[in-house]
Structure 1
Amino acid sequence: MEQMRKLPIGIQTFEKLREESYLYVDKTAIIYQIVSGSILYFLSRPRRFGKSLLISTFEAYFEGRKELFEGLAIEKLETRWEQYPVLHLDLNAEKYDTKEALEHMLSRSLSLWEERWGSDVAEISLSARFSGIIRRAYERTGKQAVVLIDEYDKPLLQAILNEPLLDEYRRILKAFYGVLKSSDRYLRFVFLTGVTKFAQASVFSDLNQLNDISMKPAYATLCGITKEELVDTFGIEIEALGNKNGLTFDETVHRLASLYDGYHFEESAEGVFNPFSLLNVFDSCKFDNYWFQTGTPTYLVDLLKQSDYDLRLLVAGVEVTASAFSEYRAEANNPLPMIYQSGYLTIKGYDREVRLYTLRFPNDEVRYGFLNFLVPFYTRVTDDETGFHIAKFMRELRAGDVDAFMERLKLFFAGIPYDLSDNTERHYQAIFYIVFTLMGQFVETEVRSARSRADAVVKTRDAIYVFEFKLDGKRLVKVGVNFSKETRNVDRYIMEE
């Protein structure tokens, strides 16, 4: 068996990736465009999309590590390879459950920098120390400093439903990040990454010169892998995956696209694949929901429940303006920005005339993984039980056993505690939507518009099942109509109450 090449699963350091000959999708042409542009940048991308590796790549570039970029696009673009003092702050690895925890983490990073660039006893606050470090780094080297901040919003996300603590974090980080404006003369380059962008009025209010490239077309493929990059870089892995699963090369690419492609970070931009899922499917040679196995943030479910958001909108897709999903505002009671920026919805269409975006699940991995994740929070059916029931649902309808199907459906509702349901039609419709959408993994299903009734259509090889669900207690009349292809007219109909 041919030896598989080294896949950079979990590798977040550019130096390690290059020195140990891991596969690398070359993004350095875009990186060169960024470092040649403005000074302060911000990029929002979902977790596991390569933000930390991107920050590490910037670090290697500004340290003048030319040898690490041999053979890459930037080698032909850059001629100077200057070395700058780099301040790299990673907020991703800590748990921030108190104000003191955040302050301690920032202080620890400042202390490490002060060991190299010196300190001043007059600098007491976190922001004063940060400002002093940037200035001394410039004075001692004669080169402006580079500041790289990875996952700037991690403390904010951990406190998102704790308003007093969230306010404390906003206050601390606003002052800390505000140093980047007052230190402008000493800065060569600043790049911040995060999952979500909190409203301008909170953390970034002092950084009015910040260039947010999260939805700009030139940078839409900076994180993620395009179809062309997939085929060019991972041709050997695609072939091995196809051989393992009895698929041709093209069939394998199509299957990969349906599961892991479809992320659009700008309305006209090319879609990209989830890099974490791709690397893992190549490593295991098995199609699975890898992104979800790393853990879905429970704060998303809490936000959904707290805001009473209609889950059917997530299934059917939602049309919104850019302001409705580009920034998160806690006071707006709108979970959509967090859902979009966390990677569970993406841009699937844009009406230029009225400037409305259509947001939907990017692919099957997210669609089915997210809905499976939601079921235990809206019923008392566990993750394992959900998969079992969905498989049984599919088999029962294929066998034409509607009675068994309906009895199993009752199990989904029998265990719903009173505290999980407001006893409204919408709550039960949402559960029906989840169940029938999950069945779409195995049989063709359709659910009606989220703004209409919670009807569902299931198509098997031998039959079409039409479901309509009512909670209002009105008289229910069922009419079934068969249309003849031969006569091109109604052949027969039946009606019953």
Structure 2
Amino acid sequence: MKYPIGIQDFRKLREGGYVYVDKTMNLYRILEGGSYFFLSRPRRFGKSLLLSIINELYRGSKELFQGLWIENHWDWEGEYRPVIWLRFASFNYKDNELKAAIWEGVEEAAESLGIELDNRELTHPLQQLIQKAYHHFGQKVVLLIDEYDKPIIDYLDEPEKAEANRDTLKWFYSVLKDSDPYLELVFVTGVSAFSKVSIFSDLNNLYNLSLVAPARTLLGITQEELEHYFAQPLKTVDKEEVRRWYNGYSWGGTERVYNPFSILSFFRGGGEYRNFWFETGTPTFLVKEMKKRSYFNLRDTLATQHDLNSFDLRNLQPIPILFQTGYLTIKHYEPADLVYTLDYPNQEVRHSLQEVLLKEYLDYPSENPVPKVLRLREAMRSGHLEEAFQIINSAFSEIPYDHWKGQTEHFYHAVVALIFSLLGTYIRSEVHSSRGRCDALVETADRVYALEFKLDKSAGEALQQIQDKGYLEPYADSPRQKIAVGINFSSAERRIVEWEAVELYF
């Protein structure tokens, strides 16, 4: 089986004999319902491949669709449309002014259609290309725009540059509304939510597919598709573990899909669990912003649709950016309240983001924190609590003294929470922040620990809270040891200075 990792050309995919999960029925039903579409999805989700499929459909490349659903439903006898396909990832805006890079990109698109554009000083590039293509071919034009917002996304940490690029893009797209008589279809893809970037403010007929039912599984691979198209490689792996690691993306709270890049990389790598998607683009800017705003526990985050579409370049909010870029996804939608519950999509993203966030909180220590977490796992498994707390203290000891100035109890809890959340990758460890839940529950084969942390108080007080609140009572029927652990952290000494543990019996 050949896995099309990184292949964005539908012709190359089909002629090369690569596996293709047939999404043509989804696409056909969307295209039937309108002419102007926008779809936002995180990187590495197949947006470029989707536009390549649309390109081949309108060019009449029937041979590429043999055996697919759309082969017997598309009008192959109709007149085919000229296709303008603009890919901002290929525009050279990092070495040139964006407007100059746009002109170069549009001129290349014109050349591919056999069209020559007029002097740059006299006309608008996109308007000129659309109209010339229309008159040259005598047919309405299909306009595909891939990664429309890349010149903004690439400069989120430089607000002035991002705003300047946004203004240029608004100028570029401003001609679409008046170009309607020449256009058969407009399909725009990107990462960010367009409604708050103010680029398409004049194009009120652009239908946002991002959260609507017809497009929720248009990109990504559903569990049913995975088991159908990848039945053979699935025989050699634990399906539930694969699901835990790579499934979970949702744009409605019900249907869930795998990131294609991750799951295909997993199969090609012989079933080795790794952080494939995350490694291709660590969100350094977002991680710094999360620490600055004291974010560390992103599970069960509530957001409105307005929040999810928020995109203020002068006041970037981490939650909508994390959602739009794929580090959070929709876990549940409550229509009565118009509220979404967000969470990490899967183990791959949760572990990776928490690892880099812990490094940021610890100011990038000399040793990666993961080996410490693994040693912590072994200490908890063997019941060596003294060793476990030495490991936690060693993590705190690497934080430079100057970085402790002005830190609050929240900072301490963030580091502890991230350590135990990462521990949950290797053994069951849950960190809770809601009232009435202990700070951490750790389950091993022989023991269940309830841990409660206090700052500048006493271990006895923490221990008493575990007993009073009955944190271990749900495990009364378990044959494992039930151990309550109270821990006190000193802000002056910047370490755990006292702990008490007692085995509870029910």
Whether these two folds match at TM > 0.5 is yes
Instruction: Tell me the CA shift for residue 391 of structure 1.
Output: 0.7
Instruction: Return the letter of the residue paired with 2:164.
Output: E
Deviations 1:366-402 (A, max 9, x none): 1111111222211134596222111101001111111
Distance 1:384 1:31 in 2: 48
1:32-431 equivalence runs, <5 A: 32-79=28-75, 80-93=77-90, 96-97=93-94, 100-115=96-111, 116-121=114-119, 123-124=120-121, 128-200=124-196, 202-239=198-235, 241-242=236-237, 252-267=238-253, 269-285=254-270, 286-306=272-292, 308-312=293-297, 314=298, 316-381=299-364, 385-417=368-400, 420=403, 422-431=406-415
Instruction: Tell me the CA shift for residue 102 of structure 1.
Output: 2.2
Instruction: Tell me the CA shift for residue 118 of structure 1.
Output: 2.3
Range 471-480 or range 290-299, more displaced = 471-480
Distance 1:417 1:40 in 2: 53
Instruction: Return the letter of the residue paired with 2:252.
Output: E
Which secondary structure does the structure 1 equivalent of 2:320 belong to?
helix
Distance 1:222 1:275 in 2: 12
Change (3 A) 1:66 1:334: same
The answer to whether the 8 Å contact 1:198/1:327 transfers is: no
The answer to whether the 8 Å contact 1:96/1:158 transfers is: no
Deviations 1:162-210 (A, max 9, x none): 2211121011000101221121111111111111214435212122111
Change (3 A) 1:454 1:328: farther
Distance 1:112 1:404 in 2: 63
The answer to whether the 8 Å contact 2:451/2:484 transfers is: no
Instruction: Tell me the CA shift for residue 476 of structure 1.
Output: 5.3
- Which among 424, 447, 450 is matched to residue 431 of structure 2? 447
Instruction: Tell me the CA shift for residue 351 of structure 1.
Output: 2.2
Which secondary structure does the structure 1 equivalent of 2:341 belong to?
strand
Deviations 1:266-323 (A, max 9, x none): 13x41111111111111111122211222222222133245x14222x1x32122121
Structure 2 residue aligned with 1:245: none
Which runs of no fewer than 5 residues in structure 2 stay unpaired? 487-498, 501-506
Structure 1 residue aligned with 2:454: 470
Deviations 1:48-67 (A, max 9, x none): 11111111111111111111
Which runs of no fewer than 5 residues in structure 1 stay unpaired? 243-251
Change (3 A) 1:198 1:138: closer
The answer to whether the 8 Å contact 2:35/2:185 transfers is: yes
Change (3 A) 1:70 1:430: same
The answer to whether the 8 Å contact 1:149/1:193 transfers is: yes
Distance 1:339 1:465 in 2: 32
Which secondary structure does the structure 1 equivalent of 2:310 belong to?
coil
Structure 1 residue aligned with 2:3: 7
Change (3 A) 1:451 1:430: farther
Percent of pairs with identical residues: 37
Distance 1:71 1:493 in 2: 61
The RMSD of aligned alpha carbons is: 2.7
Distance 1:258 1:415 in 2: 32
Change (3 A) 1:74 1:108: same
- TM-score in terms of structure 2 length: 0.87
Deviations 1:25-50 (A, max 9, x none): 00111121222222211111111111
Instruction: Tell me the CA shift for residue 471 of structure 1.
Output: 2.7
Distance 1:356 1:476 in 2: 40
Distance 1:209 1:34 in 2: 15
